[in-house]
Amino acid sequence: MVCTRSKERDRRCKLKVTSTEKKTLIAQQRGDSGAAAVLGMSCRERYLDRDARRHHRRLQRRDDLEDGHTHDNMKPPSTALLRAFSPLWRTNAIPFTARGCLAQQQSSFSTTEQRMARDKGKPKTDMRITLIRYHLKHPLTPRPLRFSRNRALRHWTIHRAWRLYQSKLRLSRQLELERQYNSMASACEALRLIDSHGLTAEDRSKLGEPEVSEGGKDVGRLYRIAMRKDQIWDGVPIEYARIQTESPPRDGWNHSWTR
Amino acid sequence: MIAPKRLSRSLQSVTQCTNHERQNFLQSTRRTLSSTIHVNASVESASTTSSQPPPPPASPVRLEDASSLNPENVFTRREERKLVRTQKINPVSSRRRRAALQSTDSVPFEQLPYQCFQEARKILIADRAEKIKQIEAQRERIARLKENGNMNETAKKQKLDSMNRHLAELKIWADINDPIVKKTFEDGKGDLNKPIYRFLADRKWRSYARKLLVQRITQMNVIPDILPHISDFPTASVDLSFARHDVQPGAFVLSEISEKYCKLNVQVYDKGERMVTIVVVNPDVPNVEKDGFDYRCHFLAANVPVNPTSGSIPFSFLRSLDSEGGQDGQVETPQIILPYLPSYAQKGAPYQRMTVFVLQQPEGVTLDVADIATRAKRESFILRSFIDRHRLTPIGVNMWRTKWDESTAGVMERAGIEGSDVEFKRKKIEPLPYKKLDGERYR
């Protein structure tokens, strides 16, 4: 969503800007990508109280005026004018499935347990820990394996051997494919240098035949025929057919379906 | 009744489980344990180990004495069932293990009769043999390259370096999958002259202790206050202790503890012996005139030999300039340039960081300690210049912190340092007068 009005004009005309637009504006001034800013700002802003948010935005406006020069911290230059003059400025919207990737950290970094004043100093319960302990200690959860030293070493040995075996297998498959490809490539190369009698230039000179230039229509004719791609899609591979599935349907969801 | 084939193939004696064969097996085992055959199993056993339970009685028709069945020993299905029926307890671990333990007290780890484990061992042994062949081929290639006189010298050196690096890698890959190596290392018995144990020790150090150290060094601004940032520094681990008090990096140490018996344990993870220089620098000596801090060198020693197996350096064992007479009449090079000065911080001064640097001397170079001692001074000691002048490479670092405590005055007096009665006070800075600005901007 592109907003072409500049911040200065906004303030002077006192135009009403919607909250999502506001967030995009602020974020774009910061140089963030729009959608990330929308999501990131909404998360971050939620944790700032109203005054802090206002102060935040005031700083942003001041940065704009001074072309991004502040004494406290180095900010990237404001993109307000860029936005105004570049019609191709597009926010990189990320799909909703990826919004977890940009989530801000919501728990404190310190491992010291926090105590709540309203609970008279009782520690703050972390739901994540509660859930983990619940699921680990549930009577229906299978108990964790505990290995003795030798058992653990045997397990490690078997694991290493399996991984080694798998990587060797993968490597051998890869080498086999490479070998096949190289074989095909060298066959094509040999074909390219052969004329209609099956002789390369070297063979011709050995046999005393007249020299033919490599660019002649005889030399490599079969190679050129083999490299043609015009009839490749005549027999479309069956894999391109759509497999019957229950979902997702081809026609999508019919929102106006009635009985 | 012949047991089905799905039992382990490795123990032949278990698969064919007739009475007759079992008696043979038992007799053979009994022979290893003791020379006499006991009729009653309940009698004291004459077996070599007293912990071994007495073997079952020998007789052509086996009289199963139910109480003699030991849950750790039974390995035939019949005995197991009898045990459960009569004594109401289950046999202890897998049948294979119980059968294996009949023949010896303890099976060596590599021979443990677990099928998957033995198959895995076969794969790893085959891989190791391949790696050994590759190592030998690489060694031959390196030898051939060294003899090659037709190559540009710098290109040759570069190629030799990379070939040697690949050879070192191959040596690690040959042993890294060995469970005995892993076990030996975990028990702390690894020989650090071998590359694989050095590799494992280095990996272990880097996984936690080095990260902690680098965090402390960075947070305390040792880097870049004393030395600039260097990539892959530190490469050697330096453990600091004062007479049984082990010091965590950056910890506060009481003055009386840090007064004596400073000891470093330097662990290098690359092969070979090298000479190192040890420097203890205090970058926080308050200087009232310039309203800042100076550097002071608390200890300076050079030509200390260090190799992967020996890195313990107690300061009191190093040779000072005036110590003459080595063993067997050989003159040994002096090592201490500036003797150890205890760390102290005067009252009121902020805490002072005491940093220990271990610097590697160039290959084969011995520093002239007497010569350096004429020029070296404690005050305003700049480590950067010292390193540049003697072309040293920093390999290890550690630090502790001092502040004023009850013992500092005593430490300073014993060390002959003046100023134990000096107290630093913060200079009161007059605030700027409040100047009311014109009101137009703040309407």
User: Quick check: B120 and A156 CB within 8 A?
Assistant: no
Cβ atoms of residues B109 and B123 within 8 Å = no
In this predicted structure, what is the pLDDT of residue B63?
A: 56
User: Quick check: A157 and B123 CB within 8 A?
Assistant: no
Chain A interface, best mutation among B114, B117, B131, by max A CB count within 10 A: B117
Which of A150, A160, A162 shows the shortest C-beta gap to B109? Answer: A150
Using a CB-CB cut-off of 8 Å, the residues of chain A touching B182 are 153, 156
pTM: 0.66
- Interface contact A154, partner B, CB < 8 A: yes
- Interface contact A147, partner B, CB < 8 A: no
Cβ atoms of residues A161 and B121 within 8 Å = yes
Q: Inter-axis angle of helices B195-207 and B153-175, to 10 degrees?
A: 80
In this predicted structure, what is the pLDDT of residue A79?
A: 62
Chain B nearest-CA distance from A62, in A, is: 14
In this predicted structure, what is the pLDDT of residue A209?
A: 80
- Count other C-beta atoms under 10 Å from residue B378's C-beta: 15
User: Quick check: B120 and A150 CB within 8 A?
Assistant: no
Q: How many residues does chain A have?
A: 259
DSSP per position, B303-316: EEEEBTTB-EEEGG
How far is it, in rounded angstroms, from Cα B253 to Cα B404?
10
3-state secondary structure labels for all residues of chain A: CCCCCCHHHHHHHCCCCCHHHHHHHHHHHHCCCHHHHHHHHHHHHHHCCHHHHHHHHHHHHHHHHCCCCCCCCCCCCCCHHHHHHCCCCCCCCCCHHHHHHHCCCCCCCCCCCCECCCCCCCECCCHHHHHHHHHHHCCCCCCCCCCCHHHHHHHHHHHHHHHHHHHHHHHHHHHHHHHHHHHHHHHHHHHHCCCCCCCCHHHHHHHCCCCCCCCCCCCCHHHHHHCCCCCCCCCCCHHHCCCCCCCCCCCCCCCCCCC
In this predicted structure, what is the pLDDT of residue A250?
A: 78
| Region of poorest pLDDT, from A22-26, A94-98, A241-245 | A22-26
Which of A153, A158, A164 shows the shortest C-beta gap to B182? Answer: A153
DSSP-derived secondary structure letter, B351: P
How far is it, in rounded angstroms, from Cα A202 to Cα B204?
62
- Do the bridges between strand B245-247 and strand B237-242 make them parallel or antiparallel, or are there none, so unpaired? antiparallel
User: Quick check: A157 and B109 CB within 8 A?
Assistant: no
Token digits of residue B90? 């289950």
Token digits of residue B72? 């750790």
Chain B nearest-CA distance from A160, in A, is: 6
Q: How far is CA B202 from the centre of its chain?
A: 7
- What is the mean pLDDT of each successive set of 10 residues along chain B, which is 443 residues long? 45 47 48 41 40 52 68 89 90 83 79 93 98 98 94 94 97 97 95 97 97 96 95 96 95 96 97 96 95 95 96 94 68 90 95 98 95 94 97 97 96 94 89 80 68
Which residue from B minimizes the CA distance to A161? B120
Q: Inter-axis angle of helices B115-147 and B153-175, to 10 degrees?
A: 160
Enter the ipTM: 0.73
Using a CB-CB cut-off of 8 Å, the residues of chain B touching A157 are 117, 120-121, 124, 177, 179
Chain B residues at the A interface, defined by Cβ less than 8 Å, are 109, 112, 114, 116-117, 119-121, 123-124, 127, 177, 179, 182-183
Token digits of residue A139? 């009577």
Chain B interface, best mutation among A65, A151, A154, by max B CB count within 10 A: A154
Which residue from B minimizes the CA distance to A158? B120
How far is it, in rounded angstroms, from Cα B316 to Cα B262?
8
Using a CB-CB cut-off of 8 Å, the residues of chain A touching B179 are 153-154, 156-157
Q: Which residue has the higher pLDDT, A43 or B419?
A: B419
The H or E element that residue B320 is part of is none
Q: Which residue has the higher pLDDT, B19 or A150?
A: A150
In this predicted structure, what is the pLDDT of residue A237?
A: 86
B408-417 contacts, C-beta under 8 A, 24 or more apart: B408/B255, B408/B344, B408/B345, B408/B346, B408/B347, B410/B255, B410/B256, B411/B255, B411/B256, B411/B259, B411/B342, B411/B344, B412/B342, B412/B344, B414/B259, B415/B259, B415/B341, B415/B342, B415/B344, B417/B341, B417/B344
Chain A nearest-CA distance from B5, in A, is: 24
Which of A150, A153, A160 shows the shortest C-beta gap to B124? Answer: A160
pLDDT exceeds 50 at position A71 = no
What is the share, in percent, of chain A residues with pLDDT greater than 90? 33
Using a CB-CB cut-off of 8 Å, the residues of chain A touching B117 are 154, 157-158
User: Quick check: B124 and A164 CB within 8 A?
Assistant: yes
- Direct distance between the N- and C-terminal alpha carbons of chain A, in angstroms, rounded to an integer: 38
- Interface contact A163, partner B, CB < 8 A: no
Using a CB-CB cut-off of 8 Å, the residues of chain B touching A158 are 116-117, 120
Which residue from B minimizes the CA distance to A160? B177
| Amino acid at site A51 | D
How far is it, in rounded angstroms, from Cα A130 to Cα A182?
58
- Interface contact A161, partner B, CB < 8 A: yes
- Interface contact A152, partner B, CB < 8 A: no
User: Quick check: B123 and A156 CB within 8 A?
Assistant: no
- Interface contact A157, partner B, CB < 8 A: yes
In this predicted structure, what is the pLDDT of residue A65?
A: 53
Across the beta sheet with B245-247, what order do the strands follow?
B245-247, B237-242, B262-267, B312-314
Which residue is it, tokens 């960075």? Answer: B218
What residues does B310 pair with on adjacent strands?
Answer: B307
Chain B nearest-CA distance from A49, in A, is: 24
Which of A154, A160, A165 shows the shortest C-beta gap to B112? Answer: A154
What residues does B299 pair with on adjacent strands?
Answer: B280
Which residue from A minimizes the CA distance to B108? A150
Chain A nearest-CA distance from B23, in A, is: 31
Helix/strand/coil percent split, chain B, to 5? 40, 15, 45
Across the beta sheet with B336-338, what order do the strands follow?
B336-338, B292-306, B274-287, B352-360, B393-402
Using a CB-CB cut-off of 8 Å, the residues of chain B touching A154 are 112, 114, 117, 179
Chain A nearest-CA distance from B13, in A, is: 24
How far is it, in rounded angstroms, from Cα B90 to Cα B77?
12
Band (A15; pLDDT cuts 50, 70, 90): very low
User: Quick check: A150 and B182 CB within 8 A?
Assistant: no
Which residue from B minimizes the CA distance to A155? B117
Token digits of residue A45? 């802003």
Q: How many residues does chain B have?
A: 443
Highest mean pLDDT out of A19-23, A170-174, B85-89, B101-105: A170-174
